[in-house]
Structure 1
Amino acid sequence: MARRRTRRARNDRETLAFTVNVVPNALVAGMNVCAVPFPAGADELAEAGLTARPDEKAPCPWIGEAPAAFECCHHTTLGIGNSREIILDEVVYAHFRADAVNERRHVDPATLDAVDRIGGQGDATTHDYFDLPTLSVDDGKAARAARMRATCRRMIAKKRCRVPCGMLTGRQRPSAEGPAAHPLRSTHHSARNRTV
């Protein structure tokens, strides 16, 4: 079976470069027009009413309305089976709209308001962005202990164990795995304490 190549893959093979433009929600209609299978040589940016801006390092223009764009040069192409390719490129220049980067030089996801194609005709936004700070070691241990206590409570509620283990009573017996042994492997959850 002949390998099908997308327009992007063909362009990358011919020019050894491409530009990735971050699409904000406001440019979704233009993004959709750019996906139309126009004949070779057509100016899809003009068809979409978007502005081509000159490149800095890679021989590809970038979209002036995009809040961020990455100029890339070809690194390698990996053939996957008979019908797929993975194209690896190196980012050689990045463009960011001034308001997309904060005073700490971090990109602001809310300002980018990015949209991405996630498969088929499905797209997703980044509106559900949230911060999830990394836990300290002590907080991580406390979170693990809380999960283990919840497991004990579920086992007791389902009548799979008759005796509360040390995770609930604070009197768990030491084991080879240390004082924080998983309740399912503690002596209180052995077969003799389970109901049938």
Structure 2
Amino acid sequence: MQLDFTQLSKAEAYRWLASTVTPRPIAWVTTLSEDGQSNLAPFSFFQVISDSPPTLLINTSVREDGSVKDTLRNVRETGELVIHLVSAAQAEAMNATAAWLPHGVSEIEHAGIATVPSERVAPPRVVAAPVAFECQLAEIMPYPAENPSSLLIFARVLLAHIDESVMQDERHVDPAKLDLVGRLGGTQYSYTRDTFSMIRPK
């Protein structure tokens, strides 16, 4: 089977990419608007892209009517965000925050998500998240430049919170204890608890 991506619609391209490039980590992102309204939303087009400086990347799509998501709007206004990783125990809560809510309605309040103040940035941190990265906006890049369908958020990590319960020792996280969920295609997700090891050849 071959797919000519130059001939696919945007929806078809998304469906094929999202169902084959898997599993994808999920960024669960808290932001605040300029007037202090909170927002919490999941993104599965997400990855670490640099360790120097430590930087995470989130892809936020432009809607058909040209509008953008509250996450992007808030990050543009304030330059701050907190990116959480989603454990299996939080999968349902994360999914609840993916609901389409009117602008200005807080997913944190709608889904009853417990949060605490962050230390370096204004957006709150999800209490139960096993890992949370307090971040400062580094750059927003429209892509493609000539007719953007996505806006890429480059987020520089300032401070990380890692739950002691997921640590193997003082320098290593235990993947089984971390127990994250990954995004597959359609309505499917996966767990990261089933792992194996390989040593890289010298």
Same fold flag (TM > 0.5): yes
Q: Which of the numbers 72, 85, 103 marks the counterpart of 1:22?
A: 85
**1:110 counterpart SS class:** helix
1:92: how far off? 0.7
Q: Deviations over 1:69-120 (max 9, x none)?
A: 1111100011112211111010111111111122242111111111133455
Q: TM-score, normalised by structure 2?
A: 0.61
The structure in which a higher percent of residues are helix is 1
Q: TM-score, normalised by structure 1?
A: 0.62
What does residue 34 of structure 1 align with? 97
The structure in which a higher percent of residues are strand is 2
| Native 8 Å contact 1:2 1:83 kept in 2 | no
Aligned residues: 136
**Larger Rg belongs to:** 1
Residue 95 (1) aligns with residue 166 (2) = no
| Native 8 Å contact 1:17 1:60 kept in 2 | yes
Structure 1: which 5+ runs fail to align? 137-196
Q: Deviations over 1:30-53 (max 9, x none)?
A: 001111122233231232232111
| Native 8 Å contact 2:176 2:194 kept in 1 | no
1:56: how far off? 0.7
Q: Distance in 1 between matches of 2:195 and 2:70?
A: 32
Q: For residues 120 and 9 of structure 1, do their structure 2 counterparts lie closer, same or farther at Cα, with a shift above 3 Å needed? A: farther
What does residue 130 of structure 1 align with? 196
Q: CA RMSD in A?
A: 2.0
Residue 57 (1) aligns with residue 120 (2) = yes
Q: Deviations over 1:141-184 (max 9, x none)?
A: xxxxxxxxxxxxxxxxxxxxxxxxxxxxxxxxxxxxxxxxxxxx
Taking only the aligned residue pairs, the percentage that are identical comes to 32
1:18: how far off? 1.1
What does residue 187 of structure 1 align with? none
